[in-house]
Amino acid sequence: MTQAELEAAHAWEADDAVPGRPEMTELRRRLRLHQSRWREAHGHPPGTQPIVPQPGKPWRLVGSRLPLDYAQETGASFVTDAARAAARERLAVVEPNQSIDRRRIWADLLWSPALALNVFSDRAVQRALAPDVTEVRFEHSPGRLDPAYLGSLRSFDALLVLDDGGVLAVDVKYHERAKAETPKPENMWRYREVAERSGVFAPGAVDELAGRSELAVHWLEHLLLLSMLQHESGTWRRGTYVVVHPAGNSDTARLCARYAELLDDRSTFSVVTLEELPLPGPVRERYLPA
């Protein structure tokens, strides 16, 4: 996979390079090239950067995207009827304080929230995680900015609701690399409260997670799930925060292993690779290079 090969497919992006982690650079470039070739093989036109070009301003072709109008009209990024229906249904609803990048959901073939719709709209995949799934909510938060939960804008790529009051809160990583973030200091009192009430963290773990860390996203999304289990309504009786990623995403695998070491009780945290799921053929073709 050479630069010339990537450029010919409009798949060369300098941002795909991850300094010091050549295996992640290779994965990110391979996944972008795969999406460009998948698009071309299915007769879809290439998209652009920016997603919607402005008259008189620079733009360029991007092989791992679709033109926005075309993507919205055809639903081409969603490869099953169930996924297309789930995408249109979700984007017709506005949850309080939500912030969804609708353009990328339709047009960016690498976008993980779109991957979640393709994967978790499938009943066989749902049953592989839990046999008693009654509902799936995409790009969902139980309450953005609600201090009864986490007081944040965090959401899950998918929330699988189970018939016994349980939930599986899913975070999908595909092309993403590890990046450090700092939890908001003004919300730290609530983060610590939820963490301490949960009893799942090892001694000293919360102090480590409270600072700038590559584990911030995993911690905050896990805390959102834990806040649901602690909610005074008693709606959710049990739950697990599930991270889903391609086996080759070594950044996500490494971070999940590190995060698990900070837990005394791992019953609310799980990791699943895309390859382990019974993906429909079109979804497997779409996301997993041969």
Q: Which of 25, 43, 27, 32 is nearest to 6 (CA)?
A: 32
Supply the DSSP symbol for 171.
Answer: E
Dihedral angle, C-alpha 256, 258, 262, 263, nearest 10 °: 30
Taking the C-alpha atoms of residue 273 and residue 286, their distance in angstroms, rounded to an integer, is: 15
What DSSP letter does each residue of 58-79 carry, written as one string? Answer: --EEETTB--HHHHHHH-TT--
**Which residues form the domain of 185?**
3-287
Identify the segments of the chain with pLDDT beneath 70: none
Alpha helix (H) ranges present in 93-202? 102-107, 112-120, 123-129, 188-198
CA distance 138 to 156: 7
The whole-number pLDDT of residue 32 equals 98
Q: Count up the domains in the chain and report the number.
A: 1
Question: Using CA atoms, how far apart are residues 65 and 5, in angstroms rounded to an integer?
Answer: 17
For residue 281, how many other CB atoms are within 10 A of its CB? Answer: 9
Place of tokens 């912030």: 99
Kindly give, in sequence order, each residue whose CB lies less than 8 Å from that of residue 275, ignoring residues fewer than 6 positions away.
246, 247, 288
Q: What residues contact residue 184 under an 8 Å CB cut-off, 6+ apart?
A: 152
Q: What is the CA radius of gyration of the chain?
A: 19
Query: How far is the CA of 254 from the CAs of 104, 178, 233, 257, in angstroms?
Result: 27, 9, 36, 5
What was the pLDDT predicted at 1? Answer: 80
| CA angle in degrees (0–180, nearest 5) for 250-254-258 | 175
- As to burial, measured by CB atoms within 10 angstroms (0-12 exposed, 13-18 middle, 19+ buried), residue 74 is middle
* Per-residue pLDDT at 26: 97
How confident is the model at residue 290, as a pLDDT?
83
